Structure 1
Amino acid sequence: MNETLTTADGRPVLRIERRLGHPPEKVWRAVTEPEHLSQWYPFRATRLELRLGGKIRFDDGAGTTLDAIVTELDPQRLFAFSTRAPAEMTRESDDLIRFELRPDGTGCLLVFTHIFDDRYAAASYASGWQVCLDALEAVVDERPVEPSYPVASMHDAYVEKFGLDSGVYSDTVDGWVVRFERQLTQPADRVWALLARESGTEAGTGDPVPSAFTSDKVHAGAVTSVKEPELLEYAWESGGRTAGRVRWELKSGTGHGARLVLTQTGPGDLTAERHTALKAWKRRIARLAEDLRALPRA
């Protein structure tokens, strides 16, 4: 299987290629017929009009439905649709899901594409689709589909493969900002509990910063803001003065985990610290991800 993450028109494009030992016409039925599609797709297809512009409705079985429109259709070769979020969800634009079948000897090559907006969700999507395509392969092989879920190690391997573990920096009128955003594999309360347990102390405004919220290159001052399990902010110091702020935020993410957004600000006369921060926080967040992988699945 070959997975890549690229960009088209400013949107992330996840592409997965997988060779299947069956001809396109058999795989086509598994992809387009609701009774087969529902066996391996993340949602059950309750409606599927197989025509250009046809309507599709998916149901998660827990009260949430997802509508889609067929955008491309070439029987036995190409099937694509755009998904429309429920009214209570917000996102910039519809996701596009695309299946292309190419004859390959006695079997076929499946080229699966998912176009979306949230780049930092790519590892969640890739690991989730890997599990789904395993189930698709079982369906066309006429084997039982065993319940399965993406594991944390699979998710984090995609984080590294797609370069989602690297931070970025920007210059502002007040100095610079280093920023990391990473999808984690555990919910916010478990992440916070792990950080608190590692530190051995609780955090309150004005208190020393718990060690787990620091890196080996940051001289932490006092906690300036805390809201468990969502936020911790503190001052960092250089040369005996407050140089900027470090801010940990745990937000809602994709899959079953929290989204970590970590930022560090600094003044224009300490630009060397910017590069130090990028390296130090990458190491720190990688260790956090490793520790989260050791916890039971949420």
Structure 2
Amino acid sequence: MTINQPSVVDEGEFTVRRTIRINAPIEKVWSAVTEPTHISQWFGQAAFDGSGVGTRGTLTWEGRDPVPLRIEQMDAPRLISYRWGNNEALARLPEEVDEQNSTVFTFTLETIADGTQLTVIETGFENTSDPVANLESHRDGWNAELDKLVAMLESGS
């Protein structure tokens, strides 16, 4: 499995960034970050009500309420942005993404000699209830989740 550098936090810009290399073609990586069946294999249980910009859905992890998300931008197979709820202060997450308490994560894909380079940048942590803690939590999350993505794609799954 390809070993990649960990995520980096920029507290001044309230962002988390990670760039990884995956020994798989861009089309396969695109499917893994856009199709609910594939997303559910490495990230969280994904469900969408369609496809394309404006599509709404949820991500669910065991023991947690569903997190609402919406596709904000798409340029297949190079870029997809998702806005998702980060309403930690609320007892129950709303069914819709709250524009005031959400972050956006963008996957950018680029073909390279041995496969695909994927960069994720998550922004908007200044809008969350505890920006510094959330930056650290999401840094750890992107490290774990993207390592699972690499393992899945490079194992031929």
> In the TM superposition, what are the counterparts of 1:186-265 in structure 2 within 5 Å?
none
**From 6, 10, 18, the counterpart of 2:10:** 6
Q: Which runs of 5+ in 2 are unaligned?
A: none
Deviation per CA, 1:180-233, whole angstroms, max 9, x where unpaired? xxxxxxxxxxxxxxxxxxxxxxxxxxxxxxxxxxxxxxxxxxxxxxxxxxxxxx
Aligned to 1:40: 42
> CA contact under 8 A between 1:83 and 1:94: conserved in structure 2?
yes
TM-score normalized by structure 2?
0.77
* d(CA) in 1 for partners of 2:6, 2:137: 16
The DSSP-based 3-state class of the residue aligned with 2:91 is: coil
Whether 2:139 is the aligned partner of 1:126: answer: yes
The DSSP-based 3-state class of the residue aligned with 1:124 is: helix
**Alignment CA distance shift 1:48-1:13 (3 Å):** farther
* d(CA) in 1 for partners of 2:84, 2:77: 21
- Aligned letter for 1:131? A
Q: CA deviation at 1:39?
A: 1.1
**Alignment CA distance shift 1:13-1:143 (3 Å):** same
Q: Compare CA radii of gyration and give the structure with the larger one.
A: 1
The DSSP-based 3-state class of the residue aligned with 2:24 is: coil
* d(CA) in 2 for partners of 1:131, 1:25: 22
Question: Number of residue pairs matched?
Answer: 141
* d(CA) in 2 for partners of 1:113, 1:98: 5
Identity %: 24
Q: CA deviation at 1:64?
A: 1.0
> CA contact under 8 A between 1:36 and 1:139: conserved in structure 2?
no
Aligned to 2:148: 135
TM-score normalized by structure 1?
0.43
**Alignment CA distance shift 1:53-1:29 (3 Å):** same
Q: CA deviation at 1:33?
A: 1.0
Q: Could you say what the CA RMSD is over the residues aligned between the two structures, in angstroms?
A: 2.4
Q: CA deviation at 1:84?
A: 2.5
Q: CA deviation at 1:120?
A: 3.1
